[in-house]
Amino acid sequence: MEEIARVSIGIPGLDRMLGGGLLAGRPYLVTGGVGSGKTLLGLSFLLEGLRRNEEVLLVAVDEPPSEIVENVREFGWDLSTIRTLDANPGTKAIRRLADVQEIKALGEVRSMRELTAEARRTGESEDISVQSIHLKLRQQMSGHPFSRVLVDSITSIRRFAMKASPDPQAERTEIQSLLRFLSEQEVTTLITATPGNPGLLTAEEILTRGEILLTRKWVGDRSVRQLKIVRVRGSAHDPERRPFAITNQGIIVG
């Protein structure tokens, strides 16, 4: 059988660990705690695509795209040509929080909170639900043959877009459907996630074809970042934990 094309992440050390890169057309998971470098890893993946003149798409749920652009400015990365699907629910939420504080001074916090909760519930059903993300993706993809997609992050999708569906069965089905959709698009996808309860298996853990784990621990007053390829279907890979650094050149895996 012919070999599947490999997709470079744009981080030489990581590509080597993967045996050449990700297998084209499949969804992969990048897990790690807050500040572990998930988004940076995902952005280098997209930028590598830009360098190769590919169509790339960023689905920003965690942070507003404008903040992402600012955050990587010190790396000299130009994200301006990355098509972005702004699915960030936080923009409004943050404003509301600001309002809440103002109102708090007026002694109307409580009622406002209730209002806010009400507003969010109704607002979110329009702004961000898995369905809306799904439909927007479908629209985007029909016009552009994307070859790389970064979904940042699925944890936020679950948290912000699924409050209305407390049924775990329905939630899993929705995630399954979204991932299946991405698979059928034959687009190489990186999905970031924050590790949850280790005793609970999530739908994306089951359905993605591989997982890269980013960790960060403190040794004295220095933080040590480590990266590990937990699993990759259909590809030999380096199974050990490797240190990496975030430098002004981006992520470097040593």
Note whether 38 binds another protein by CB under 8 A.
no
Separation CA 153–CA 133 (nearest Å): 12
> Which neighbouring-strand residues pair with 83?
57
- Is the Cβ of residue 112 or residue 141 nearer to another protein in the bound state? 141
- How many chain residues touch another protein (CB under 8 A)? 39
* Strand pairing category for 27-32 and 210-219: parallel
Query: 229 Cβ partners below 8 Å, 6+ apart?
Result: 17, 18, 210, 211, 212, 213, 237, 238, 239
Q: Which two tokens stand for residue 139?
A: 């629209």
Compose the 217-236 pattern: x for residues touching another protein by CB under 8 A, - for all others: -------------xxxxxx-
If one asks whether residue 151 binds another protein (CB under 8 A), the answer comes out as: no
Q: Which of 91, 125, 183, 194 binds another protein (CB under 8 A)?
A: 183
Tell the smallest beta-carbon distance from residue 225 to another protein (Å). 15
Based on CB atoms, which residue is closest to another protein, 2 or 221?
2
Cα–Cα dist 10/41, whole Å = 9
| Amino acid making up residue 62 | D
Q: Which residues of the shown chain bind another protein in the complex (CB under 8 A)?
A: 1, 4, 25-26, 131, 134-135, 169-170, 172-174, 176-177, 180-181, 183-184, 186, 198-201, 203, 205-207, 209-211, 230-235, 239-241
